[in-house]
Amino acid sequence: MKAILFDQPGDEDQLYLAEVADPSPAPDAVLLHVAATALNRADLLQREGNYPVPPGANPILGLEVAGTVMELGSEVSGFEVGDNVCALVNGGGYAQQIAVDHRMLLKLPEKLSFTKAAAIPEVFLTAYQALHWIARLQASETVLIHAGASGVGTAAIQLVRLAGAVPIVTASGHKHEALAQLGAARCIDYRTEDFAEAVLDATAGKGADVILDFVGGPYLAQNMQSCATDGRIVSLAALGGARVQDFSMAPFLRKRIQLTGTTMRSRTDEYRQRLTADFRRDIWPYFADGPLQAVVDTIYDWADVAAAHRYMASNANVGKIVMTIGLD
């Protein structure tokens, strides 16, 4: 089969298509013909040499796939050759074939295309985990979602609404209209507004019950200021840098704030399988019957992988950047 590889860490132009050995499924896995994958920031970091591949993970880029079952491992039940599925994977999405544990598979409803389905697993599972497993979101609570236009942000807005809670987002101003249409109750332009003041204003001084943060060090103090008493902050990335300066513990202690850091890729296979099982039960049906939707910004052919990576690095997207996998 063919896959997208790189030999040295570096820019987008390091990426090239090459012949690699076909994968073969373990007894509890299936072999998929990959129709589409989607980009994640982690792909850019890994390509740059800033995201070491965890032990046991597939070193090929790509954390999610949609495609068709080609072959079943000897212990797999509940799936057939020809089933269309999508899955969160631990690397290996930028390839024509991939072996995936059957416990990670989500069967596609009839009307869900491969390009939409490939845009779902990583960001919706991450947002679901952060909101429900970690932050224990309750109906009527307010959630501040930073980087609201990111893939994870656009998933989180929808899951917050589905839970009967209220999403407030930060994002560049020109993305606000799209985010309001997705369900954001208040959009804050972090470039021109003090987001902590805006959140306190929008919540009558109470603050957000849950905060999903992707910006990191520069936002920690303002997040504490924006957070309600007994609030939960889930820290998912450090897009603005990991170092914290001039930080007072006082609001953290006084408001009994819970701060949790997490990365999906460092989780065990068993954890990701349990998360997928809960997601399949609680959330997946809403993609068939509404109201959930994959938010796809742009679709690239995999021959244009360098352009796709450049586009993600430019921060222009609202939602996901998808890549179709060619047959040759």
Q: Which of 147, 188, 210, 224 binds ligand NAP (CB under 6 A)?
A: 147
Measured CA to CA, the distance from residue 188 to residue 171 in angstroms comes to 6
Applying CB under 6 A, does 50 fall inside the site for ligand NAP?
Answer: no
CA 149 to the chain's CA centroid: 12
Applying CB under 6 A, does 46 fall inside the site for ligand NAP?
Answer: no
Decide: 214 and 150 in contact? Cβ < 8 Å: yes
Taking the complex as a whole, the smallest distance from the CB of residue 173 to ligand NAP amounts, in Å, to 9
Q: Which is nearer to ligand NAP, 59 or 205 (CB)?
A: 59
Measured CA to CA, the distance from residue 27 to residue 72 in angstroms comes to 8
Q: Which stretch binds ligand NAP (CB under 6 A): 2-10, 77-85, 121-129, 133-141?
A: 121-129
Which residues share a beta bridge with 66?
A: 36, 86
Applying CB under 6 A, does 248 fall inside the site for ligand NAP?
Answer: no
Q: Which is nearer to ligand NAP, 97 or 150 (CB)?
A: 150
Q: Which of 2, 33, 41, 310 binds ligand NAP (CB under 6 A)?
A: 41
Applying CB under 6 A, does 134 fall inside the site for ligand NAP?
Answer: no
Measured CA to CA, the distance from residue 276 to residue 283 in angstroms comes to 10
Among candidate residues 60, 65, 79, 73, the one with its CA nearest the CA of residue 34: 65
Among candidate residues 121, 53, 62, the one with its CA nearest the CA of residue 96: 62
Rg (CA), the chain: 20
Applying CB under 6 A, does 131 fall inside the site for ligand NAP?
Answer: no
Applying CB under 6 A, does 132 fall inside the site for ligand NAP?
Answer: no
Applying CB under 6 A, does 123 fall inside the site for ligand NAP?
Answer: yes
Count the Cβ atoms, other than its own, within 10 Å of residue 112: 19
Where on the chain is the footprint of ligand NAP (CB under 6 A)? 40-42, 122-123, 126, 147, 149-152, 171-172, 175, 190, 214-215, 236-237, 239-240, 262-264, 312, 315, 317
